[in-house]
Amino acid sequence: MAKMLRDIWLLFLSNLRTTWRSPIWIIIGLFQPICYLLLFAPLLKNLAGSPGFPRTGAYNVFTPGLLIIIALYSASFVGFNLIDWLRSGMLERLRVTPVSRLALLSGLVIRDVLLLLVQCALLIGLALIMRFRPDVVGLLFLVPLLVIVAVLMASCSYALALATKDEGALASTINLFVLPLSLLSGIMLPLTLAPEVLRNIAKFNPFTYAVDAARALVAGNTTDVSVARAFVIFALLAVLGVIWATRSLRQAMM
């Protein structure tokens, strides 16, 4: 166990140093959410108070969805790094080392989670300037939910990268699933404003429950049933995602 923890720490530091050489990607990952916050969120002010729109304020409704967007999209495309490792022979060199495949995956995912938290902190700071007023305790509870979502998406991204071994195929596959998942989760607008048919379809989308939980936590409703539901759903999915990615790594490095 001690050896695995040491391996995870060393791999995390190595991956972090590599990322730190190009910090511009942290800002690039924030570009789309910041555009939404600056250019789309103000349009929701006129909807506040209308039937079906939550009464917590436009920014308290929209910002939690943006945080889920960052966790969803930023972690979904980390698999490009692993494809680069495949082509450069990095994975081949790691294959002959005694490092655990789970430790290898963990070192990558922990780096991805740290970058996500930095991006979320920057977005929250900007949103606070624009009248985002979250419940502090609820916001602290939201952090582990974002982490779990990021672990799930990063693990799936690495597994898909090993399956496709091509940047174009990986991007197409991710967009095929991520775009409808995000649109049908109520990230942009509350699903209470959607037609009944879309609300029924959204019940089968796990990210719907993540967005509902994020908004409940920001409003201070930490005991809301949506919060427990989201944590359970994404904890199970994250475990499955880690198992899938670990097995894919083992097969790729045999």
Closest CA to 67 of 15, 136, 125: 125
Question: Whole-prediction pTM value?
Answer: 0.89
What pLDDT score was predicted for residue 245? 93
Determine the pLDDT at residue 212.
92
Residue 154: per-residue pLDDT? 94
Q: What is the pLDDT of residues 222-252, one digit of tens each?
A: 999 999 999 999 999 999 999 999 998 888 7
Tell me what the mean pLDDT of segment 93-115 comes to.
83
Q: Rg for the chain (alpha carbons), in Å?
A: 19
* Cβ atoms of 159 and 248 closer than 8 Å: yes
Give the pLDDT band (50/70/90) at residue 105.
Answer: confident
pLDDT tens digits along 25-64: 667 767 778 888 888 777 776 666 666 566 667 788 889 9
pLDDT for position 46? 66
Q: Indicate the pLDDT class of residue 216, thresholds 50, 70 and 90.
A: very high
Tens of pLDDT, residues 106-137? 888 999 999 889 889 988 998 998 888 899 99
Per the CB < 8 A criterion, the answer to whether 130 and 43 are in contact is no
> Mean of the pLDDT values across residues 157-183?
89
- Residue 27 buriedness (CB in 10 A; 0-12 / 13-18 / 19+): exposed
Residue 199 has pLDDT above 70, yes or no: yes
Rounded to an integer, the average pLDDT of 189-196 is 77
